[in-house]
Chains A and B, each alone.
Chain A
Amino acid sequence: MLKTFKVGGIHPPENKLSAGAVVETLPLPEMVIIPVSQHIGAPAQIMVQKGDAVKVGTIIAKQTGFVSANIHSSVSGIVQKIEETFDTSGYRRKAIVINVDGDQWEDSIDQTTTLKTDIELSTSEIIQRISELGIVGLGGATFPTHVKLSIPSGKTAEILIINAVECEPYLTADHRLMLESPDEIMVGTTILMNALGVKKAVIGIEKNKPDAIAKLTETAKKYQGISVVPLKVKYPQGAEKQLIKAIFDREIPSGKLPIEVGAVVQNVGTAFAVYEAIQKNKPLIERIVTVTGKSVSKPSNFKVRIGTPVQKLIDHIGGLPKDTAKVVNGGPMMGKALRDLNVPVTKGTSGILILNKKLASRKEYVNCIRCGRCVTVCPMGLEPFLLMTHGELQMWGDAEKNHVMDCIECGSCSFTCPAHRPLLDYIRHGKSNVGKIMRNRK
């Protein structure tokens, strides 16, 4: 019996079309657009001016406050301008535009690919360096990693969980990473264990990636305290709370963080980035992005420099297929449709999904038929139909009483609703309003 979380969950068609595609390095673009807000928390403060020459790895924006992250140049070249450019939602955000000119790296970065297993730094030094090199959670939420590693006083971590679930359909970036760099992931995990002071780390992988499970189980034997747990294929297992429940069988109290039950969850991509940061002194300047879709002739995985316009990725796979209706940043469940193809790949971009008209269009919604399917599938045990009604009627008090803030926005309810009701849209509306009320109360 495979482990999984108990409440709710769905199993959407997996469509892991690019699982067999080896990670290719995308050629350097002519220019990159690097937004200063690529993480959860305060936007970074710009450190460069128009006309400055930068190298790969030069710090171009500094973190402001504790929950924030440094941003480094992903290319070498000249800063062309600092302007407000579109983000994925179409609103304007500050970004640094750099014209690419050659590929010169900062001298401090070790560009070799040899595996380095000895960890020389102490706990505080590790966290310090992770913070300096701008590492954030690469699962999609982009929460600064150094914040997660700094355990509040009075709490202790018992276990480190490496999230290699990749439960989003279509995406294969983590899958390929596990197959191609298992040793680096293990060293990265060991570094994270040292930083947290835990003796045990568990890597959770869903059963639909048997090759990755086999590879990591084999590699894990060489490293102390790391084990691999195969999990049942179920969405949203990659969500922090669900993964802790599946592996550790503990439930996080409402409104609390995973450290409350002694667990810290890091994405497998983050573990790899931590390896590169600590052992190679390399800041977070590139990541693996899956470019996929049923209409795409060759679904692929690319190693992409942060700031590369999405258009470049699409050009590389031979342009948009003719019947394209939607290009999504991320997976089909949690991803966000792009408004413009000139938006850059950021630290949180795990995939670019191209959908045709048939797959992309949402159906007109009708009245709730009280079937209760949304309640059955909600992994947080909420009642989405009720929360949607609260949102529609602006009953924020009732929404709060019914724990609207516990929603993890996985979209299982909207996915399963036979009346095609936009449940998640209204629940998010409720969350933002209730959140505002709660902040004002403080």
Chain B
Amino acid sequence: MSLIVLLSIITLCVIGVIAAVVLFYAAKKFKVYEDPRIDEVEALLPAANCGGCGFPGCRGFAEALVKADHISDMLCPVGGNETMKAIATVLGQDVKETVPMIAVVRCNGSTENRPKTSIFQGAKNCSIAHSLYIGETDCSYGCLGYGECVEACKFDAMYMDEKTGLPVIIEENCVACGACVKACPRSIIEMRKKGPKSRRIYVSCVSCDKGAIAKKACDVACIACGKCVKACPHDAITIENNLAYIDFNKCKLCRKCVDVCPTHAIVELNFPPKKITEDKETTSSIIENI
């Protein structure tokens, strides 16, 4: 009896020793070298796995960062400057200082401003509606209002305003990953400079229709009248395809264009109220929501 126990123990020990030797050599022979800096860099990244950097998740970005010769063009939009600086110290490289960005919805065609002229009963999905027809209103460029951008946002930084039927961005949560920009089939959402004290001025319209047609479809459409271009002292505004665009790198936030815009298509955000109060119903509703 004791012999059986003894034999079993000895057999198991021998098998254990053989396995250990095999494993030891296998581990040496097939060892994959992984740069220890990848783990270090990954630990610095926010682990949001949003894909905003253009790589598959934070691990993928860490690998790319370690491999890259120059990381100055690479950016983690979620972590921003601080994260990139920390990574640069680990890798011994330089990074460019980038300005914080934020998503803006360039359409103000709320149910009030832009009346519905047809009913869509198909699948409530922006891409599908966009491929089938121009949407329930007469504007073929504006927001369709089925919230594909909200679905794409992984940071709870967007919601659909039921009253206006438009998506709203929650500033504190937006990390500028760009998922909503990619999701929108009509390219309405744009990444813009966050600006000092979150102050921003932008044209809240993407309609390339001629003025009369755009205005007929929507009360707050850009009609490309060119008043803002003349009013701007910094040459920041250009008109192309019947649409004004404010270059956020040139804009000095003087608000002169906001005052002259006849359709209130130019929107200012987070500015203190002016001394002479003006009728700014459409814009104030947006400010309240944010």
Which residues of A approach B to under 8 Å, CB–CB?
88-92, 336-337, 339, 361-362, 422, 425-426, 428-429, 432
Contacts and interface: CB of A to CB of B under 8 A. Distances in A.
A361 B128 contact: no
B122 A425 contact: yes
Contacts of A89: 132-134
Interface string B132-155: 111100101000000000000000
B128 A339 contact: no
B42 to A, nearest CB: 26
Nearest to B210: A84
Contact of B123 (A336, A339, A425): A425
A422 B133 contact: no
B128 A426 contact: yes
By size class, the interface of chain B is 10 to 19
Given A88-B133, A361-B121, A429-B131, 8 more contacts: A90-B134, A92-B209, A425-B123, A426-B128, A429-B123, A429-B125, A429-B128, A432-B131
Contacts of B209: 92
B134 A91 contact: yes
Nearest to A360: B121
Interface string B172-192: 000000000000000000000
27 contacts: A89-B132, A89-B134, A90-B133, A90-B135, A90-B138, A90-B140, A91-B140, A336-B132, A337-B133, A339-B117, A339-B118, A361-B121, A422-B122, A422-B123, A425-B122, A425-B123, A425-B125, A425-B132, A426-B123, A426-B125, A426-B128, A428-B128, A429-B123, A429-B125, A429-B127, A429-B128, A429-B131
Nearest to B183: A394
Nearest to B134: A90
A92 B241 CA distance: 14
Interface string B196-222: 000000000000010000000000000
Interface of B: 117-118, 121-123, 125, 127-128, 131-135, 138, 140, 209
Closest 8 CB pairs of A and B: A90-B134, A422-B123, A425-B123, A89-B133, A362-B121, A90-B133, A425-B128, A429-B128
Contacts of B125: 425-426, 429
Interface of B is mostly: loop
A111 B140 CA distance: 43
The winner among A90, A91, A337, A432 for most chain B CB atoms within 10 A is A90
A45 B259 CA distance: 44
Contacts of B134: 89-91, 339
A432 B128 CA distance: 10
Contacts of A92: 140, 209
A339 B127 contact: no
Contacts of A88: 133
Contact of B133 (A339, A425, A429, A432): A339
A426 B121 CA distance: 13
Contacts of B123: 422, 425-426, 429
B240 to A, nearest CB: 17
A336 B122 CA distance: 12
Contacts of A91: 133-134, 140
Contacts of A90: 133-135, 138, 140
A337 B128 CA distance: 15
Nearest to A83: B210
Contacts of A432: 131
Contacts of A339: 117-118, 133-134
Contact of A428 (B117, B131, B138): B131
B24 to A, nearest CB: 41
A13 B122 CA distance: 22
Contacts of B127: 429
The winner among B117, B121, B131, B135 for most chain A CB atoms within 10 A is B121
A343 B138 CA distance: 15
Nearest to B118: A339
A339 B135 CA distance: 9
B187 to A, nearest CB: 15
A414 to B, nearest CB: 10
Nearest to B213: A92
A361 B120 CA distance: 10
